[in-house]
Amino acid sequence: MNRLASFGRLRHVPRTLRSTRTVSCRALSTSSTAASGYNVTDSDIATLAKRHQHQLSLADLVKHGRPPLSEDSLLSSANFTLGLLPIRLARRIQALRNLPYIVVTNPNISRIYSTYVHSLSILLPYWHAAAEGHPIATLDEEIKFTNTLAELVATHTDTIPILARGFLECRRYISPPEVTRFLDEHLRARIGTRLIAEQHIALHFSSQPHFDPEASPTPCPEHPSFVGVIDTALRPATVVESCAGFVADICELRYGTRPLLHVNGEPDTTFASIPMHLEYILTELLKNAFRATIENKSQEPVVVTIAPEPPLPVTDIPSIKSPGSDRGQFRSDAIRPLDDNAPGVTIRIRDRGGGISPDLVHNIWSYSFTTFSEDDEFPGSDNGGGGGNDGLNAISGASAGISSIAGLGYGLPLSRAYAEYFGGGIDVQSLYRWGTDVYLRLKGIGKIDP
């Protein structure tokens, strides 16, 4: 296999970049024009949205091999990515159009609509060229395409907070169940779209002869266990400890104290998974546990137990569901593992923070609910008019770039969407006036050949 002889350097797009690009586009207009001058038409959107959407599998993401990739493999990855993204973007545009018109005309939701139209407009020239028999065929073309992907990822960084702010402002015109349903669907679609783009970006950078992980706009560790953004030897205990340190810092800033953490079970367990998604889930779950511990003045540590699941004989594989839930193991839009029988891991987060009040426990999966008090000062939220006791306030405040300890309104539903996308799930068991156990089940993705 020939290694890449040379690489042009992509311009650096910091991971924390907040895009300031604005697109001139009315709420339901598709006349957005990319920098390349391509105009997205209604016909483009309708045609793409009708095409079959490939159900993403982790086999798709690793089939090009371990980096550094050969030139042929890198071009194959670029063209595979190009074949998936425009269809997904077109479907999100249609989903936004299907919202009540008065909701879509909200400035924040209109901004997200415009962002999706713009993203489609910068990919369509590549799409049409490939349809005419001119796929990405040279390294120079691949570099330009990867720059486009980096821009796409950066411009969608704040999609969820901005949507939340829009729904918060439109709460008179759309019901909480409709908001939860839309955000669930939108987040799952967003996870897949970003994963496809970030995997190619990571493969690109890790295939450079002089690989500099800091130059990549997406997580791209220089470690032999990584295939793009997938860590084939991920140690959950390491992620738990890292996320707990981050959340403890927030607690110390806000409350002046740091809860204790104890990790037990089998902390040396490893499996193949995607670190950045596990980091998000654990950060949100630990925020809830730490906050409850502090506010209940508990001196007990938060205990995290890591329990690996052994693979079952093929004949014994049950129709597994998320623990304590009637939501199926694999939704139609979930990513498929390399091996349906791949061993997974269950992580239990136990706190002695007083538990969840029985009259609140049924609302914890709604984006329209949070235990964060209206009297609390949420960073980035004006708490005016709409009231602060709302999970949408928590999500929308995230765009201010400030990490809050407020929780139980947005962390749980968002985290569950992440877990379920990868065939896992989250279950919550609460003993009121005692504490809460949260069970996070992570599906293994299977063995990745060296």
C-alpha 177/C-alpha 344 separation (Å) is 31
Domain of 198 in residue numbering reads as 42-222
Token code pair at residue 312? 């079952």
Rg (CA), the chain: 22
273 and 172 inside one domain: no
Per DSSP (E only), the strands in 152-270 are: 226-227, 230-234, 261-265
317-370 tens-digit pLDDT? 443 333 334 444 435 456 766 666 667 899 999 999 999 888 888 878 877 644
- Residue 25 within a domain: no
Check pLDDT > 80 for residue 151. yes
Q: 1-31, pLDDT tens digit by residue? A: 333 433 333 433 333 222 333 333 333 344 3
The answer to whether residues 175 and 267 belong to one domain is: no
Top pLDDT among 423 and 291 is at 291
Q: Three-class SS of residue 49?
A: helix
Q: Which residues pair with 302 in a beta bridge?
A: 261
Categorize the per-residue pLDDT at 423 as very low, low, confident or very high, splitting at 50, 70 and 90.
confident
What global pTM score does this model have? 0.76
pLDDT at 444 > cutoff 80? no
262 in the same domain as 207: no
**450 located within any domain:** no
Domain boundary among 191, 222, 253: 222
Q: Are residues 364 and 423 in the same domain?
A: yes
37 in a structural domain: no
First-last CA distance in the chain: 14
Same domain, 123 and 201: yes
